[in-house]
């Protein structure tokens, strides 16, 4: 009799484990489908470079200002931010760097809610990479200026 009870308990545990595993997989698949946002994102610099063919402004500045503040544009901005920074970004070769405790707490709370799969090191690395690309010319100029100065 005891053996039958143990076998029944083992079968029940196996069924429950399979159920929870299936539920876990289903949630991951649904989450991945929800997070896929395909949107063409153009930077502000690229928009500034676009000129009409006939040399005349085809859109008034008022319309551009309204579009910039519209919920659709803000949603695209959020989608671009999510695609740029909040994807899981594994870092192959690492080195230790210290950051402010308040910044660490803020980023940790933000990522835990918004992108639990993203690592803090990947998030910070992407921010630093963008900064280095954006200010490459200014940094090179400062570097050259400091090197060429006599003692």
Average pLDDT over residues 82-106: 83
Question: Is 91 contained in some domain?
Answer: no
Quote the mean pLDDT of the chain: 74
Question: Is 78 contained in some domain?
Answer: no
Question: Is 20 contained in some domain?
Answer: yes
Predicted model pTM:
0.47
Average pLDDT over residues 107-126: 89
Q: Can you give the residue range of the structural domain that contains 11?
A: 1-36
Position 70 scores a pLDDT of 53
Question: Is 114 contained in some domain?
Answer: no
Statement: residue 7 has pLDDT above 90: no
Name which of 10-19, 24-33, 108-117, 139-148 the model is least confident about. 24-33
| Number of structural domains found in the chain | 1
Enumerate long-range contacts of 29-38, CB under 8 Å, 24 or more apart. 35/82, 37/79, 37/82, 37/83
């Amino acid at each position: 009799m005891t053996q039958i009870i143990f076998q029944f308990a083992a079968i029940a545990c196996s069924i429950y484990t399979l159920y929870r595993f299936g539920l876990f997989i289903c949630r991951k698949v649904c989450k991945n489908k929800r997070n896929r946002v395909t949107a063409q994102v153009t930077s502000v610099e690229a928009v500034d470079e676009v000129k009409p063919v006939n040399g005349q402004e085809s859109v008034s500045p008022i319309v551009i200002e309204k579009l910039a503040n519209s919920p659709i544009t803000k949603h695209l901005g959020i989608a671009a931010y999510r695609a740029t920074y909040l994807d899981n970004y594994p870092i192959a070769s690492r080195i230790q760097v210290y950051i402010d405790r308040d910044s660490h707490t803020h980023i940790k709370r933000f990522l835990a809610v918004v992108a639990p799969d993203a690592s803090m090191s990947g998030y910070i690395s992407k921010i630093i990479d963008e900064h280095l690309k954006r200010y490459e010319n200014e940094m090179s100029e400062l570097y050259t200026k400091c090197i060429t100065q006599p003692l």
